[in-house]
Amino acid sequence: MSDDEAEMAELRAVREGRGLTSRGRAAHRQESVGATTSSSTSSSSGLGGGSWLLPPPEMHLPTQFGKKGNRVDEEAVHKEHIRVPVEEPPTVAAQALASGESDEDDDDRREAPSRIPDTHEICLDLCPESHKSLTALSMDPKGSRMVTGGTDGMVRYWDLNGINAMDPKPFREFAPQEGYPINCVRFSNTGGQVLVLPADARCRIHDRNGTSAPVQQSVKGDQYIRDLQHTKGHTATITDGHWHPMDPSKWITSSLDCTIRIWDINTPGTGMDMWIPCIHTLKCVDKRGICGGRGGVENQLFVNSCGFKPYDGGFIVAGCSDGSLQLFNERKRYGKADMIARTAHTDVVTSVNVLEDGQRMLSRSLDGTMKLWDCRKLRASTPVRTWGDLPCTDEHTDITISPDESLALTGTSDGRVVAFDLQSESVDPIKSYPFRTQSAVRVGPSQRRSATMACCQRGFTMAS
């Protein structure tokens, strides 16, 4: 066999995967040695002596492409945010359980805390320098986004699916009205829009992406018109607002001008700015039957909170500054309230929340109580149940109800979030969560996410 034929055979062997023969391996080894020698010689002559050998090729291959992120120990982060229980004085129910007195209600109270997601927590320090109070909180129906607002005038959007537990930051923040604190934020029932209420006379509708420019906003009423029924908008600061449970284009707002107004985003705009006017005005009255009163500021009646009947929006409830609850049934033309519980509370009503059955309602007040009412017997001003020892100093303190309507949660000014069992006759809290900071203001559960959000007067929001 000639040299050419042997070389062709070697090439065929390499292609077929059989490797080199002994002759081919020897020739290949000799060629490699010659190449290395020539490389060393040229390197010596060019660099003033010494050998210059390149490192093996595998050392130059990158293990990954793009920016290299810091590795996070997920297990360590998970352990770091485990909620540490704080011992509190035992309640009457706990003492009864410890003494061996047990019945079906005690069994329910024992199982109720397990339904509350409280194993972990994340603290979001929104204003580390100024420690402004958080006064507004809302989550979208899917539990993927949260919106907060505070006395610093900023509205912040949070992505709960992509939040960094080690350094939580909002993905969008803006000031709807410079210098005005935020009284309320509400996600719509569809999750596509957010009702933002700064402490002025106009309400604003923003999209879910946090665009600073509002989609729509309301007009301000003429404060020199005596009859508030004839104004197109609020004439004083808006205090609260809620979306209609059935119609995604409608919402209500309450105000210091002693009215509740119904709005429709499809209403044609007026004026050069094309801002929308209200479609209905509901006037609350004091014990003299006067809307807004005619005395000084201290004696003037105002509406601090409001709420819809779930499912159909069949009636609207107003919580007023004199402690009264005023109920308006749905109608084509509104006037004064159909039912009034004049002595429901002894101080400002901070929150009203109607249960899904439309017959029961919870109210919270600055008088340190939370009460359960029968909406059909509201005139009697006799609550079905009263929970006391709930100190409250903030007019934004609200009530939230669990998705199955078995639990009610509210905050206190001494830094607690307290849970009560609505299915039990006991008035003792089944669980109390002390805050690391001061007064707990807003509490909001997620319908889809196993979490409970709470915000307080030190600029913290906690998710557990």
- DSSP character at residue 389: -
Domain co-membership, 105 together with 12 = no
* 9 lies in some domain: yes
From 255, 264, 323, select the one nearest 283 (Cα to Cα): 255
pLDDT digits (tens, 9 = 90+) for 286-298: 888 888 744 445 5
- 8 and 109 co-located in one domain: no
Q: Are residues 136 and 13 in the same domain?
A: no
CA-based nearest residue to 189, from 246, 267, 149, 252: 246
67 in a domain, yes or no? no
33 in a domain, yes or no? no
User: Same structural domain for residues 120 and 20?
Assistant: no
* DSSP letters spanning 300-347: ---EEEEEEPTTT--EEEEEETTS-EEEEE--SS--S-SEEETTS-SS
Q: Is the pLDDT of residue 1 over 90?
A: no
Position 108 scores a pLDDT of 46
Greatest alpha-carbon pair distance for the chain in Å reads 124
pLDDT the model gives residue 44: 42
The Cα–Cα gap between 190 and 182 comes to 22
The closest of 261, 263, 269, 268 to 248, measured between CA atoms, is 263
For residues 58 and 342, the model is more confident at 342
Total domains, the chain: 2
39 within some domain: no
| Whether 16 and 98 share a structural domain | no
Q: Which two tokens stand for residue 391?
A: 């100190």
Q: Which residues contact 386 (CB under 8 A, 6 or more apart)?
A: 369, 370, 371, 372, 427
Query: Could you give the CA distance from residue 225 to residue 232 in angstroms, rounded to a whole number?
Result: 10
CATH code at position 397: 2.130.10.10
Q: What are phi and psi of 406, to 5 degrees?
A: -100, -20
Position with higher pLDDT, 164 vs 440: 164
Q: Verify that 219 and 334 share a domain, yes or no.
A: yes
- Residue-range definition of the domain harbouring residue 22: 1-28
Residue 208 near residue 192, CB atoms below 8 Å: yes
Whether 253 and 168 map to the same domain: the answer is yes
| Distance in angstroms (rounded) separating the CA atoms of residues 434 and 414 | 9
The better pLDDT of the pair 49, 225 is held by 225
Supply the pLDDT for residue 249: 95
pLDDT for the residue 432: 86
Residues 258 and 155 in one domain: yes
- Report the interhelical angle of 3-15 vs 22-47 (nearest 10°): 90
Query: What is the reported pLDDT for 273?
Result: 87
CA distances in angstroms from 119 to 123, 157, 462, 463, listed in the order given: 14, 24, 12, 10
Question: Among the listed ranges 10-19, 209-218, 264-273, 277-286, which one has the minimum average pLDDT value?
Answer: 10-19
What pLDDT is stored for residue 289 in this prediction?
84
Length of the chain in residues, anyone? Answer: 464
Q: Calculate Rg over the CA atoms of the chain.
A: 34
pLDDT at 39: 46
Residues 18 and 144 in one domain: no
For residue 318, which phi and psi values (nearest 5 degrees)?
Answer: -120, 135
- Closest listed residue to residue 126, CA positions, set 162, 152, 104, 87: 152
Of 408, 388, 389, 392, give the one whose Cα is nearest residue 452: 408
Q: Are residues 6 and 131 in the same domain?
A: no
> Tell me: the pLDDT tens digits for 137-188?
898 988 889 899 988 899 999 998 887 767 778 899 999 999 999 999 999 9
- Assign 29 a pLDDT band (cuts: 50, 70, 90): low
3-state secondary structure of 85: coil
How far is residue 420's CA from residue 113's CA, in Å, rounded to a whole number?
10
Q: Give the burial string for 335-369 (b: 16+ CB within 10 Å, else e).
A: eebebbbeebbeebbbbbbbbeebebbbbbbbbbb
β-bridge mates for residue 374, sequence order: 360
Question: Is residue 395 included in any domain, yes or no?
Answer: yes
The amino acid at 161: N
Residue 337's nearest CA partner among 361, 360, 303, 310 is 303
In this structure, the answer to whether residues 156 and 17 fall within a common structural domain is no
Q: Looking at the domain assignment, is residue 46 inside a domain?
A: no
Q: Give yes or no: residues 13 and 139 share one domain.
A: no
| 54 is a domain residue | no
Residue 63 inside a domain? The answer is no
Number of Cβ within a 10 Å radius of residue 216: 17
pLDDT digit string, tens, across residues 281-328? 999 998 888 887 444 455 689 999 999 999 899 999 999 999 999 999
> Is residue 19 predicted with pLDDT exceeding 80?
no
